[in-house]
A and B are shown apart, each in its own frame.
Chain A
Amino acid sequence: MFELILFPCLAGLTLALVGGPLGAFVIWQRMAYFGESIAHSALLGVALAILLNIPMNLSIVLICCAMAVLLSVVQKQLQLSLNTLLAILAHTSLATGLVIISLLPDFRLDINSFLFGDLLAVGQQDFLLVLLVATGVLIFLVSQWQALIALVANEELAFVEGRNTRLLQILLMLSMALLVAIGIKIVGVLLVVSLLVIPAATSRKWTRSPEAMALSASVLGVVAVMAGLALSWKVDTPAGPSIVALAGAIYFFSQLLLLTKRQRSQS
């Protein structure tokens, strides 16, 4: 029994740990909608994997990264109607993926596990990929932390002070694409961005420095993953949705605490 839950547990924790700081950047840089678009394109990755007969994990990672680069190039070129463009790219790739898959003989896509994740099916191979990607992203975030915070605080000042803001932005976008790609197996296309955003949003009002916000987001993410897995294990609920629902519950509870605290200090 222990072996069954070991790799799902480790994979979820790894994602939550790195998702904390990255989620903070998703909030600071307003990248949530970009993340959603990237996640939607993952289905095209599934279709391509089957067509070209390459490993599915690899194909999803590649498609997500390609989408991230495309989006960050397009973002600079076309300032106008960015939202529209994102919606077009996201849903075209999702729809194209579905059409291609429907044309493939002898292939049944488990759409449920794709949309909401299949954490309990995560094996050693999947975990190693999660670990590899998460470590890479973490190394980038830690080594460039000061430059990244300078970018978020004010892009133009950072540029004038000699930082390569364009490269940092693209690498940040790629990091998000990578975490989204590996997160799909864990919480699914529809929920993966929320696992990045909710813990960071929860910690925002309780912290006074960017570091504290990022670290407490990691802790909250870990709590949500552990509690969600436990719930799933005990009551047999789907793991991904359980994790996200609990992360959301923590968010609303903390907002409530904040409200009562504020009222008490006023009276």
Chain B
Amino acid sequence: MADVLIELQQVGVNEDGRCILDNIHLRVNAGEIVTLIGPNGAGKTTLVRVVLGLQAFSGKRVLKPGINIGYMPQRLELNPQLPMTVKRFLALSGANEKQMIDCMSRVGAQGIAEHSLQAVSGGELQRVLLARALMQQPDLLVLDEPVQGVDVSGQAELYELIECIKREQGCGILMVSHDLHLVMAQTDNVVCINKHICCHGHPEKVSHDPAYLELFGKTAASNIALYTHHHDHEHDLQGNVVDSVDAEHKEGH
């Protein structure tokens, strides 16, 4: 039987009479990556906050007792009045020095330990936040747009690291992401939401789901297709068959 870390049943969120989430079912098992996708304003972050216990909701939320949760917020609202180095910020998680050094080198942030937290770049800050989440030795890792502000080569690297963490620690991961085509290979389960669940399942299945196509359009869907099977042609705006970039690329080899 699967080791269920968290399960949401019929979860709804209303704020000022406005429905933000409705009838959401979600489950994250140990050793599994669940990716949450959806357009802006779909309630992804709200759902993450429900999972974390930060948001009032209706319905049922069952958390496996005694598990550690590591959380990486979308952005860190940093208090400009609080003087703090990266190292000190990480120490706030309560972990010891050795763990801290491990986690920092893991995410590639060892070089900025003594920097002021206010002075690090957006991409570096994402790595620091991931390190802080890892220091909880989490059973459940919740990542809200983990690669935001990271350059393109760093994004793939970071996603690989996340996959690697899952394999080594056996933790379950709930991740919010915009770019399904990048996380596709690593994801076990995709949940596509827009206030309610539009579709869910294996990434390849979801990428062909009519509800998904409607939300993200055919372009996004074909982006995903490029990663799973290589079309030898593409369609231009009028629908005519044209040589695909990918096909040209292959011929070059």
Bound: A204/B82 CA distance, A? 8
Known contacts A28-B79, A154-B76: does B54 contact A160 (CB below 8 Å)?
Answer: yes
Of chain A, the residue at the smallest CB distance from B88 is A209
Residues A150-174 near B (CB distance < 8 A): 150, 152-154, 156-161
Partner of A204, one of B69, B77, B83, B88: B83
B93-111 interface code vs A (CB 8 A; 1 in, 0 out): 1100000000000000000
Bound: A152/B78 CA distance, A? 9
Chain B facing A: main interface SS: loop
Bound: A149/B85 CA distance, A? 13
B52: Cβ under 8 A from any A Cβ: yes
Bound: A149/B77 CA distance, A? 14
Please give the residue numbers on chain B whose beta carbons come within 8 Å of chain A beta carbons, in ascending order: 52-54, 69-71, 73, 76-79, 81-85, 88-89, 92-94, 116, 132, 136, 142
Bound: A196/B244 CA distance, A? 67
Q: Separation in Å of the A174 CB from the closest CB of chain B? A: 21
Partner of A28, one of B70, B82, B94: B82
Q: Place the interface of chain A in its size category.
A: 20 to 34
Residues of A near B94 (CB, < 8 A) are 146, 161
Partner of B83, one of A146, A150, A158, A209: A209
Partner of B71, one of A27, A152, A160: A160
Contact assessment for B81 and A153 in the assembled complex, using a CB-CB cutoff below 8 Å: no
28 chain-A/chain-B pairs, Cβ below 8 angstroms: A28-B81, A146-B92, A146-B94, A149-B92, A150-B93, A152-B79, A153-B79, A153-B84, A153-B92, A154-B76, A154-B78, A156-B71, A157-B71, A157-B73, A157-B132, A158-B92, A159-B52, A159-B54, A160-B54, A160-B142, A161-B136, A207-B83, A208-B83, A208-B116, A209-B85, A210-B82, A210-B83, A212-B83
Bound: A160/B79 CA distance, A? 18
A200-243 interface code vs B (CB 8 A; 1 in, 0 out): 00001001111011000000000000000000000000000000
Residues of A near B92 (CB, < 8 A) are 146, 149-150, 153, 158
Residues of B near A27 (CB, < 8 A) are 81
Residues of A near B52 (CB, < 8 A) are 156, 159-160
Residues A140-195 near B (CB distance < 8 A): 146, 149-150, 152-154, 156-161
